[in-house]
Amino acid sequence: SEPFKIRGYAIWFLLGGGKGSGLEVRLYVDGKVVRTAKNTENHEDMRPVIWTIAEYKGKDAEIEIIDDSMDAWGHINVDNFRYVRLIGDL
């Protein structure tokens, strides 16, 4: 992603696709990986992921989507990144 300032308490997004190595979503804060997400099974259904990030509020961040697999399920699907305050905000 383009660099951005963290302004929320949690990042919520949808994740689907393959579970193999080389398929992952990473959150970098000040250039270091602080959160990751990957599928634990192969599925096309998009399932929610929540990263709590309150401790990084105001810091510079980037999101990287890694799609580096040649397996039969060698793809990753992500969508709908947004900030949330509480689970009830969904």
Pairing of strands 32-37, 4-5: unpaired
pTM of this prediction exceeds 0.85: yes
Task: Assign 3 a pLDDT band (cuts: 50, 70, 90).
Answer: very high
pLDDT tens digits, one per residue of 24-83: 999 999 999 999 999 999 999 999 999 999 999 999 999 999 999 988 899 999 999 999
pLDDT at 89: 55
Spatial strand order of the sheet with 32-37 comes to 4-5, 60-67, 23-29, 32-37
Task: Assign 85 a pLDDT band (cuts: 50, 70, 90).
Answer: confident
Residue 60 has φ and ψ, to the nearest 5°, of: -80, 135
Tell me how far apart the alpha carbons of residues 49 and 53 are, in angstroms, rounded to a whole number.
13
Q: Is the pLDDT of residue 88 over 70?
A: no
* Cα Rg, the chain, nearest whole Å: 13
* Under 8 Å between Cβ of 20 and 32: no
